Chain A
Amino acid sequence: MAARRLGGSSWQQVVSLSRRCCLPGGRRERYRCSSSSTALGKTVDNSEVTQEEIVLPRRKTWGKLAVLQTLASTVNKDPTAAHYMFQDDPFLMPRNAANSRLFSLSKESGRNAAKYIIKQFPQYFDKTFAEPNIPCLMPETFTPQIEGVSEEALKERIHLRRVKDSVDLFDQLVQAGTTVSLETTNSLLDLLCFYGDGESTPEKEKEEEDLEEPGVNASEQKAPKRQFQRGSQSSGSRWRENNNAERIFKIMPERNAHSYCTMIRGMVKHGASAKAYDMYIDLLNERHKADVHTFNALITAVPYLKERFLERWELAKVFLNHMAQQEVQPNLLTFNALLKTLRRCGGVGRSMSLLAIKEMEALDIEPSLATYDHLLFIFYRGADLCPSGIISEVLDDVEKRSFTPQDPDDANFFGTAMQVCCDLKDIKLAYQLNKAMEKGDNWKFLDMDRLNAYWSKFFSLLCMMEQIDVVLKWYKEMSPSHFYPTPKNILDLLQALDAANHLEAIPSVWEDMKQLGFNRRQDLLQELLSLMSREQHPEEIQLAFAKCAEDIKAVYEQSVREQALLEWTGSALGHVALLFSRAGRTQDAWNMMERFQQINRIPTDQVMEEFLNCAKQTNCPDEAIKLVKLAAALGLPSSQRLKSRTEKEFELSEKQKKTLESIKSDSDSSDSDSDSDSDRE
């Protein structure tokens, strides 16, 4: 459609041009013949009559992504498929959270390794094959081009973010008596303060390189890595006393507000809050004005400057008042910083945060997700839960808008909000939140780890609150494609199944557990076994359960690689034996019974009875006698009762009767209780 329009307009251009350029008539005829559209023909006729000047319309410019975006919007999610990034290789399809994390990280690290090679050895990548050139596939120049000691060279090194080189060059310049301009010195300070004047350790270098990567290839698998780096950076490079930044700042002949501001920001970033505050006082003494970013940094530093809640709030207010006095307009980040500080102000934070929100409203600053995140934290992470008034107002607001990232903390919102929904046990709010999350591009705020955490919380809440069919529907839709359930999720699901009396679904859950790699978790196995063996079920289900039990038995008995063998517990053995006997698998059940003796555990009476029932059903007197033997050997009080039952209920041969008799003489003397038991029967 659009293409046709484009074609049309260009033909119009052709026609009108031909007229303006006064081409010979023959040529014009040809053009007119080739224009198929009758409408165009008309315009030509008209123009011949009126001789009007025709204004050429500009060419239509296409968004280069328009076509692809349209196509992408037609693709729906496949609930049975793993994430797209894993689809290159079916063998590497992850089955659980650990695998998916490993695979995505390895994919990304492969990419990073390639980049590293290109960067380390740019000399091997000097051929430009592509036409037009693709800059992001080519090595970038990181070696300074300008030699010698000059301000230009310094500027270049600063631009290339070579911390140590820049400092050295600056020192040489100063020693040579050259004055470096204020602007250049300030950008050097920016560089030093941003990196906290870190030493040029290899990691440091690498980190720098990472940060220098062009923004375009910031693909997301990097996010966890990035965060890790950020964490290491803030903990690794603390602000040192008299570091280069401070030294250069001191020897600067003149300093402007920017010099002070960047120092303050650097100090706050690298954990020297007290120093930053002193620097701010100096700035005030010099009658400079700080900028909004500096104030934001100072407000973030407040919790490190004061101990008591009220003092913190007072200090934050002082900064805000200074901003107003210095006519600095606050921005969204100012208020986010304020709220972040209020998170650590206890009860004061609660009342003040609402005032701050109102202030934002009055200033027409739209809250970002981070604003709401802080707000929820302030109100719902205390010792006692607030009622859901605030969160439901927040969700109403969030629902109405679609968000673009504005604050690094924006990403935390959905996780926090879901946690609050869980704490409040409010499924309606959770649904509302989920709807807001799926709206527009909001899903992008959840990277893989956060997504997993989010869904796992949501799913737990569903298990707790929803009808079992709804839970199972969600489970089917989400389970492998959206997220990988945690062991706790599975436990919740089992409990939900139990509560809804829907135990026949257990075998399929067991299959999923095997897939997810939870088949060696004792707590889950225990829960599974006890649920399966608690009641008698119809035969079909019992058979399926027995199959599960067999699987579980295999899990207990095989050792996977170097992992330690799972230890049988008495109850697990009993449950498995029960399940086998109920399914009529006498031999398997007997194998389990024998194991009791091997590991010195005592089977419960129920197990013994059920096994006897099973032996009776399948008409295996031998097994029954063996059982009585076992009971006698273990010295169980029930052995007499079992024996008398065996005598009564089975048709025993002479030999078998004799054996049974001999067992009696063994245990008779030891146990008088059992006698009375059997008498009663």
Chain B
Amino acid sequence: MWSRVRGWGGAAGGSCRLAARLLAGPASGREAAGVARLEGRPHRYRRLPKIQKLFSTSSVLSTEKDGSTASKDSTTEVASKSQGSTAETPKQKLLDLIGNMKVEVSYRKKLQQLKTREIKKQATNKLEGPDSEGSVLQKTTEDVQRGKPLNPELVEAAAAVASSLPLNKKQTESELLAQLRRHEETTDKQKKGGTINIRNVISEMAVKRQSPAQRGVRISSRISLELDEDGQRIKLERLSPQSFDSRRSLKVGGRLNIFTKASTETENTLKTVSSPTIWDLEFAKEIAAITAQPPRNGFEEMIQWTKEGILWEFPIDNEAGMEDDAEFHEHIFLEKHLEDFPKQGPIRHFMELVICGLSKNPYLSVKQKVEHIEWFQKYFEEKKEFLQEI
């Protein structure tokens, strides 16, 4: 287990300390979570899950960790809400950011002591691990920090911040780095005074919200069998300029801005104009073939047969194959067609017999039946004279 983790020791170095800070007391949990957020941010977010992996080995920490993630979520939400405003005052934000970074630095020594005590037994070899970056980070003291103000992590952080801003990225990044240098002194003071309100910083930070995607990554990396290889690869990616792929998401970013949305009316008119060509017919067939699967059971087979017209249609009645859309009563009750006939007498009697017969005839359509009655009407009309004679 620990040999696996070693690969991560370096990358996770900074946050190890933070997590150790969590141990110091639950009261500071929220602050620490904020720091963890800031700390985590400059790196690819994939790092965080690995850190948790690291700490999940120690049962003491596991409960603390849950608490911290919860608070982290809440802070990020606040932060994402204020994203708009921070974009407008990047300088203010930078100041805060830098201050915060240095606060974190101030904890380093203390935390390192804490941490070494914590994991001395297992992890002494961690320091000599093959990961050069990690060992540098872990050995850094405050003095080293001062002598070399631009910690590579900070540079990276600056790059990350720059990339998240809507402004010119390169410019922002160099500005950031300049700020880092310029405010070295100030941060020292702040560090000593320790008066900075981290909560404010957090609330003003434009922290990328942890999406379910990232959570997925955490899960995936937790179960990844090839932790070491993975770590290696991710680190390489992190150093490459293309490293911001991970920030890509379907939800953010601009559009092509080529088309404008058309009103639905014009679409409709376009559709109705042309009759289907061979292209359309064949395309429809191709599309239909994609999802045309063989039936999975007898009923589905019967559905298919019904569609092909092989099977009687359910519900089975005596109207199969009858094309006319006439209703039952139109076939049966034909009295309404007798209004033009005499109300009584032999003709009426005869016609009632006719419609009686027609109503029982299933082979004629309604139209044919009506025609049949009309024929008699015409016939009797023509023969009216003779009939009256009789």
Q: Which residues of A contact B (CB under 8 A)?
A: 3, 10, 13-14, 17, 20-21, 23, 56, 58-59, 62, 64-69, 71-72, 75, 77, 83-85, 104, 131-132, 134-137, 161, 187, 190-191, 194, 211, 215-223, 226, 262, 265, 293, 317, 320-321, 323-324, 329-330, 347, 350-351, 354-359, 361-364, 379, 384-394, 396-397, 404-408, 410-411, 424-429, 441, 443-445, 447, 464-465
Cα–Cα distance between A65 and B305 once the two chains are bound (Å): 10
Pick the contact of B246 from A56, A68, A387, A404 — CB < 8 Å? A387
B211 touches A389 (CB 8 A): yes
Does B59 count as interface, using CB distance less than 8 angstroms?
no
Chain B residue numbers with a CB within 8 Å of A358 are: 253-256
Which chain B residue lies CB-closest to A73? B299
Which chain A residue lies CB-closest to B302? A68
Cα–Cα distance between A329 and B270 once the two chains are bound (Å): 10
Smallest beta-carbon distance B89→chain A, Å: 27
Cα–Cα distance between A445 and B284 once the two chains are bound (Å): 16
- Apart from A362-B259, A387-B46, A393-B249, list 11 A-B contacts with CB within 8 A: A3-B315, A10-B328, A56-B327, A226-B289, A358-B253, A359-B256, A364-B261, A387-B246, A389-B249, A408-B290, A411-B290
Pick the contact of A355 from B256, B284, B300 — CB < 8 Å? B256
A392 touches B213 (CB 8 A): yes
Q: Could you list 12 A-B pairs, sorted by A, with CB under 8 Å? A: A59-B327, A132-B320, A187-B278, A216-B307, A317-B256, A329-B259, A355-B256, A387-B246, A389-B214, A389-B247, A425-B225, A428-B219
Pick the contact of B282 from A194, A350, A464 — CB < 8 Å? A194
Of the candidates B278, B295, B329, the one having the most CB atoms from chain A within 10 angstroms of its own CB is B278
A429 touches B216 (CB 8 A): yes
Chain A residue numbers with a CB within 8 Å of B217 are: 387-389, 392
Cα–Cα distance between A99 and B220 once the two chains are bound (Å): 37
Cα–Cα distance between A464 and B46 once the two chains are bound (Å): 21
B304 touches A64 (CB 8 A): no
Type the 1/0 row for B28-63, where 1 means its CB is closer than 8 Å to any CB of A.
000000000000000010100000000000000000
B270 touches A62 (CB 8 A): no
A363 touches B329 (CB 8 A): no
Chain B residue numbers with a CB within 8 Å of A265 are: 279
A329 touches B267 (CB 8 A): yes
Cα–Cα distance between A363 and B254 once the two chains are bound (Å): 13
Which chain B residue lies CB-closest to A384? B237
- Which chain B residues in 86-101 approach chain A with CB under 8 Å? none
Cα–Cα distance between A104 and B294 once the two chains are bound (Å): 10
Chain A residue numbers with a CB within 8 Å of B216 are: 388-389, 392, 426, 428-429
Pick the contact of B255 from A161, A362, A407 — CB < 8 Å? A362
Smallest beta-carbon distance A197→chain B, Å: 13
> Given A10-B328, A223-B289, A447-B293: A426 and B220 within 8 A (CB)?
yes
Smallest beta-carbon distance B277→chain A, Å: 5
Smallest beta-carbon distance B53→chain A, Å: 14
Interface size on B, residues (CB 8 A): 78
Chain B residue numbers with a CB within 8 Å of A13 are: 327-329
A429 touches B258 (CB 8 A): no
A190 touches B278 (CB 8 A): yes
Does B309 count as interface, using CB distance less than 8 angstroms?
yes
Cα–Cα distance between A20 and B335 once the two chains are bound (Å): 10
Which chain B residue lies CB-closest to A338? B256
Cα–Cα distance between A410 and B304 once the two chains are bound (Å): 22
A69 touches B309 (CB 8 A): no
Smallest beta-carbon distance A333→chain B, Å: 9
Pick the contact of B248 from A75, A354, A444 — CB < 8 Å? A354
Chain A residue numbers with a CB within 8 Å of B304 are: 219
A393 touches B211 (CB 8 A): yes
- Which chain B residues in 292-348 approach chain A with CB under 8 Å? 292-304, 306-310, 313-315, 320-321, 327-329, 333, 335-336
Chain A residue numbers with a CB within 8 Å of B296 are: 75, 77, 83-84
Closest 8 CB pairs of A and B: A132-B321, A72-B299, A358-B255, A426-B220, A389-B213, A444-B291, A64-B313, A67-B314
Cα–Cα distance between A151 and B245 once the two chains are bound (Å): 60
Chain B residue numbers with a CB within 8 Å of A359 are: 255-259
Chain A residue numbers with a CB within 8 Å of B285 are: 211, 215, 218
A135 touches B309 (CB 8 A): yes
Type the 1/0 row for B265-278, where 1 means its CB is closer than 8 Å to any CB of A.
01100100000011
Chain B residue numbers with a CB within 8 Å of A221 are: 294
A68 touches B250 (CB 8 A): no
> Given A194-B278, A388-B213: A71 and B329 within 8 A (CB)?
no
> Given A72-B299, A355-B254: A426 and B212 within 8 A (CB)?
no
Chain B residue numbers with a CB within 8 Å of A321 are: 258
Pick the contact of B308 from A62, A69, A217, A222 — CB < 8 Å? A217
Cα–Cα distance between A390 and B214 once the two chains are bound (Å): 10
Cα–Cα distance between A441 and B292 once the two chains are bound (Å): 11
Cα–Cα distance between A388 and B213 once the two chains are bound (Å): 6
Which chain B residue lies CB-closest to A386? B245
Cα–Cα distance between A222 and B261 once the two chains are bound (Å): 40
B328 touches A396 (CB 8 A): no
Pick the contact of A134 from B242, B245, B309, B315 — CB < 8 Å? B309
A397 touches B320 (CB 8 A): no
Smallest beta-carbon distance A10→chain B, Å: 6
Which chain A residue lies CB-closest to B277? A190
Which chain B residue lies CB-closest to A158? B278
Cα–Cα distance between A211 and B333 once the two chains are bound (Å): 48
Does B148 count as interface, using CB distance less than 8 angstroms?
no
Does B223 count as interface, using CB distance less than 8 angstroms?
yes
A363 touches B261 (CB 8 A): yes
B250 touches A216 (CB 8 A): no
Chain A residue numbers with a CB within 8 Å of B1 are: none
A388 touches B220 (CB 8 A): yes
A223 touches B309 (CB 8 A): no
Which chain A residue lies CB-closest to B247? A389
Which chain A residue lies CB-closest to B262? A329
Chain A residue numbers with a CB within 8 Å of B383 are: none
Cα–Cα distance between A62 and B314 once the two chains are bound (Å): 8
Pick the contact of A85 from B213, B255, B295 — CB < 8 Å? B295
A428 touches B220 (CB 8 A): yes
Cα–Cα distance between A218 and B242 once the two chains are bound (Å): 47
Cα–Cα distance between A148 and B217 once the two chains are bound (Å): 71
> Given A215-B288, A324-B260, A388-B220: A262 and B277 within 8 A (CB)?
yes
Cα–Cα distance between A77 and B297 once the two chains are bound (Å): 9
A136 touches B278 (CB 8 A): no
Smallest beta-carbon distance A428→chain B, Å: 5
A17 touches B333 (CB 8 A): yes
Smallest beta-carbon distance B156→chain A, Å: 17
Chain B residue numbers with a CB within 8 Å of A83 are: 294, 296
A194 touches B279 (CB 8 A): yes
> Given A14-B329, A135-B309, A388-B217: A84 and B292 within 8 A (CB)?
no
Smallest beta-carbon distance B129→chain A, Å: 24
Cα–Cα distance between A12 and B277 once the two chains are bound (Å): 48
> Given A194-B278, A445-B290: A330 and B259 within 8 A (CB)?
yes
Chain B residue numbers with a CB within 8 Å of A424 are: 220
> Given A10-B328, A355-B256: A67 and B315 within 8 A (CB)?
yes
Chain B residue numbers with a CB within 8 Å of A324 are: 258-260
B310 touches A320 (CB 8 A): no
A408 touches B286 (CB 8 A): yes
Smallest beta-carbon distance A1→chain B, Å: 13
Which chain A residue lies CB-closest to B266? A329
Cα–Cα distance between A364 and B296 once the two chains are bound (Å): 35
Chain A residue numbers with a CB within 8 Å of B277 are: 187, 190, 262
